[in-house]
A and B are shown apart, each in its own frame.
Chain A
Amino acid sequence: MSFHLTRTDQLLIVDVEGQLIVNNRQEFKQAIIDQIDLGVRTVVVDFTQSAYIDSSGLGALVSLGKRLRDLGGDLRLAGLNDDLRTLFELTRLDSLFPLYASRADALAGN
């Protein structure tokens, strides 16, 4: 898995390529926390190039979402395929994060 960060002021876009799982979730989480500590308040994670996520990856997203909410920000997820949407629905985490069909929708917040 690799990820790419693009920051503009308080907005951070994270492109995830590959699987977000137990062996990389800490690196992923810490990279975003570092940006939150530098002032980022809205994080859009784009999963268009991601195959699947395990419970560790979900846990990292839960933790980041909570951290952002506590600071008045939010975590938005975009580009989830049907499998990833199923994962969020099964775990009911779709009630915790707004899921957007595309990055453009996530950036617009609609």
Chain B
Amino acid sequence: MRARASRPAALPTADATERREWTIASDVNAITPLVDAVQLLCERAGFSARHCRFNIPVAVTEAVANAIVCGNTSDPSRSVRVVLVVDSRQLVVEITDEGDGFDADAIRGAPHAPDWLEREDGRGIFLMRSLMTDVVTELAREQRGHTVRLILHRT
């Protein structure tokens, strides 16, 4: 199933104060060093301590893990591209895999679902949505792969 754009959204560029980009292998061991780097940039950019130590690391971990395990099926020939942009208003982390994508809007797993407490998986997108201001999904611009964009406004 290919991903559908849930809404148009673009990375901020006009007044960007910080932009970083990484390409990582489809290896879950690559997640922690990446998240550590993102966390450091958030601290430098002046986001709240709670956002830096909790909201952002958990949401980025979820999105990158999804990209590696679900999107790229842990295929070592595929990689994950991560772009971070911080401006005066918000943080945006864009995670793009090389997989077939999924329709995040169709995944509305929430705590009121009957099997919620017993299932081992299926809480990642719920957590991303709970911890970020907004989560946007769309087809990658290159028409290959799937992009998840995590957006967190400054508070």
Contact = CB atoms under 8 A, between A and B. Distances in A.
Nearest to B28: A23
Interface of B: 28-29, 31-32, 50, 53-54, 57-58, 61-62, 65, 69, 111, 116-124, 126-127, 130
B116 A21 contact: no
Contacts of A66: 118
Contact of A62 (B28, B29, B53, B119): B119
* Interface secondary structure of B, over-half rule: helix
The 9 closest A-B pairs by CB, nearest first: A23-B28, A59-B120, A55-B123, A83-B54, A92-B111, A55-B124, A22-B65, A54-B61, A63-B120
B127 A22 contact: no
Nearest to B65: A22
Contact of B61 (A22, A86, A96): A22
A49 to B, nearest CB: 14
Interface of A: 19, 21-23, 51-56, 58-60, 62-63, 66, 83, 86-87, 90-93, 95-96
Contacts of A56: 65, 121, 124
A97 to B, nearest CB: 10
